[in-house]
């Protein structure tokens, strides 16, 4: 009985694997580029997921579009510019590091360091009073 | 000494004001980077027909409102009556953009609910949609007579959105063209 249940579950897990998209690549380099790229773009429907994770139809369309561009010979930069040119900076899953986003990226570190700084300052002051 | 004790309070007050303001912001709000740029050049079939049109020809010389919709989209259904009312204004052209939809269902939808569009373009696979930066339905794009995209609204069109977001831009276009 346990064997039958096990085989049934095994078959079910096979179905889950086959439900994923099967993409054709002409080289390993292209496969790697593709998977790297789709992990770097945001799904605009499910905005907390990357294009790699999302099941939304738009994500499917964008993955197909990126694959097509790779096959047509576009560079990673060209593909990025294409998507950012149409969807804005928000389509980048990791915000770009530029003049407008320095504060976004560096503020946590600044706050951490200034927190430490205050701590050390107050501890030293306490020691001086003693 | 007393002034130093105020520092944590001032920090807290600053953060509180920032967070209070942020509550009214919409993190999913995405302005289109195509605003201010010409409508991308593409060819599309008219819904239910074999005839193809060029995007440039469709918008040339007229102020266009391009409304992205689909028969499966409940929000599009909700804004449709308002668009029917708006489409009675003769000086702007309403162009429908049927996005990722089945032609037969789209045609039935228009027949049953009314067709406000001068013409409707079909994009059943969503490929033209990517060209235009479409990510949700409904979306409405305002395009001026030179083919420049002036504004893109994502969401259900209603009276207040129309007055707040579209009318000022329409006024600007009219003044520019001296119409």
Answer whether B34 sits within 8 Å of A86, measured CB to CB: yes
Residue of A81, B132, A31 whose CA lies nearest to A39? A31
| Chain B residues with beta carbon closer than 8 angstroms to that of A90 | 30
Answer whether A57 sits within 8 Å of B30, measured CB to CB: no
Q: In whole angstroms, give the CA distance from residue B34 to residue A86.
A: 6
How are strands ordered across the β-sheet holding B139-143? B52-54, B43-46, B119-123, B92-99, B63-69, B139-143, B149-154
**Local structure of A58: helix, strand or coil:** helix
Residue of B110, B92, B140, B128 whose CA lies nearest to B47? B110
Answer whether B32 sits within 8 Å of A85, measured CB to CB: no
Residue A35: per-residue pLDDT: 93
Q: How many beta-carbon pairs below 8 A join chains A and B?
A: 38
Burial of B66 (0-12, 13-18, 19+ CB in 10 A): buried
Measured in degrees and rounded to the nearest 5, phi and psi for residue B86 equal: -65, -35
| Chain A residues with beta carbon closer than 8 angstroms to that of B28 | 47
Which pTM value belongs to this model? Answer: 0.78
Q: In whole angstroms, give the CA distance from residue A23 to residue B10.
A: 56
Intra-chain end-to-end CA distance of chain B, in Å: 67
CB atoms within 10 A of CB A44: 25
Residue A21: per-residue pLDDT: 62
Instruction: State the smallest CA–CA distance between residue A15 and chain B in angstroms.
Output: 26
Least confident of B87-96, B99-108, B139-148, B149-158: B87-96
Residue of B152, B153, B154, B130 whose CA lies nearest to B42? B130
What is the per-residue pLDDT across B7-40, written as a single tens digit (0 to 9) for each? 888 989 999 999 999 888 877 678 889 999 999 9
Answer whether B30 sits within 8 Å of A58, measured CB to CB: no
What is the per-residue pLDDT across B116-142, written as a single tens digit (0 to 9) for each? 999 999 999 999 999 999 999 899 999
Average pLDDT, chain B: 91
Q: In whole angstroms, give the CA distance from residue A59 to residue A70.
A: 16
**Local structure of B155: helix, strand or coil:** coil
Q: For residue B21, what are the contacts with CB-CB under 8 A and spacing of at least 6?
A: none
Indicate the pLDDT class of residue B3, thresholds 50, 70 and 90.
Answer: confident
Q: ipTM greater than 0.90, yes or no?
A: no
* More confident call, B158 vs A100: B158
The arithmetic mean of pLDDT across residues B103-114, rounded, is: 95
| Chain B residues with beta carbon closer than 8 angstroms to that of A65 | 127, 130
Q: For residue A54, what are the contacts with CB-CB under 8 A and spacing of at least 6?
A: A43, A45, A46
Upstream peptide bond of B138 is cis (omega within 30 degrees of 0): yes
Residue of B nearest to A91 (CA): B30
Q: Is-contact A36 A67, C-beta < 8 A?
A: no
Q: In whole angstroms, give the CA distance from residue B122 to residue A93.
A: 30
Measured in degrees and rounded to the nearest 5, phi and psi for residue B105 equal: -65, -40
Q: pLDDT tens string for chain A (130 positions)?
A: 889 988 888 877 765 544 456 787 888 888 999 999 999 999 998 888 999 999 999 999 999 999 999 999 899 999 999 999 999 988 999 888 888 888 888 989 999 999 999 899 889 988 877 6
Residue B148 has pLDDT above 50, yes or no: yes
How would DSSP label each residue in B74-121?
HHHHHHHHHHHHHTT-TTEEEEEEEES--HHHHHHHHHHH----SEEE
Residue of B20, B26, B31, B62 whose CA lies nearest to B133? B31
Answer whether A86 sits within 8 Å of B125, measured CB to CB: no
Burial call A28-38: b when 16+ CB within 10 Å, e when fewer: eeeeebbeebb
Question: From the candidates A42, A44, A122, which should be mutated to test the interface with B, based on the most B CB atoms within 10 A?
Answer: A44
Answer whether B130 sits within 8 Å of A65, measured CB to CB: yes
Q: In whole angstroms, give the CA distance from residue A84 to residue A89.
A: 6
Instruction: State the smallest CA–CA distance between residue A34 and chain B in angstroms.
Output: 18
Residue of B175, B155, B166 whose CA lies nearest to B64? B166
Instruction: State the smallest CA–CA distance between residue A91 and chain B in angstroms.
Output: 9
Residue B13: per-residue pLDDT: 94
């Amino acid at each position: 009985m346990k064997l039958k249940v096990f085989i049934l579950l095994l078959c079910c897990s096979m179905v889950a694997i086959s439900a994923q998209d099967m993409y054709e690549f002409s080289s390993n380099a292209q496969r790697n580029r593709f998977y790297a790229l789709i992990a770097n773009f945001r799904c605009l429907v499910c905005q907390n997921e990357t294009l790699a994770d999302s099941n939304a139809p738009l994500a499917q369309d964008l993955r197909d579009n990126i694959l097509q561009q790779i096959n047509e010979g576009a560079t990673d930069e060209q593909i990025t510019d294409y998507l950012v040119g149409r969807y804005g900076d928000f389509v980048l899953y990791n915000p770009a590091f530029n003049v407008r986003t320095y504060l976004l990226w560096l503020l946590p570190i600044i706050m951490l360091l200034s927190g430490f700084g205050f701590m050390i300052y107050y501890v030293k002051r306490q020691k001086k009073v003693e | 000494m007393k002034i130093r004790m105020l520092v944590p309070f001032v920090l807290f007050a600053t953060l509180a004001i920032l967070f209070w303001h942020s509550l009214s912001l919409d993190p999913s709000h995405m302005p289109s980077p195509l605003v201010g740029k010409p409508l991308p050049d593409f060819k599309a079939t008219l819904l239910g027909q074999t005839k193809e049109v060029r995007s440039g020809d469709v918008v040339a010389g007229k102020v266009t409102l391009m409304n992205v919709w689909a028969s499966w989209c409940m929000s599009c259904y909700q804004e449709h009556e308002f668009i029917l009312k708006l489409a009675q204004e003769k000086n702007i052209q309403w162009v429908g953009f049927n996005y990722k939809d089945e032609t037969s269902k789209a045609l039935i939808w228009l027949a049953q609910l009314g067709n406000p569009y001068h013409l409707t373009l079909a994009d059943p696979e969503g490929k033209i949609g990517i060209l235009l930066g479409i990510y949700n339905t409904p979306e409405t794009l305002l395009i001026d007579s030179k083919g420049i995209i002036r504004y893109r609204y994502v969401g259900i069109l209603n009276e207040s959105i129309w007055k707040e977001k579209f009318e000022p831009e329409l006024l600007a276009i009219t003044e520019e063209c001296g119409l």
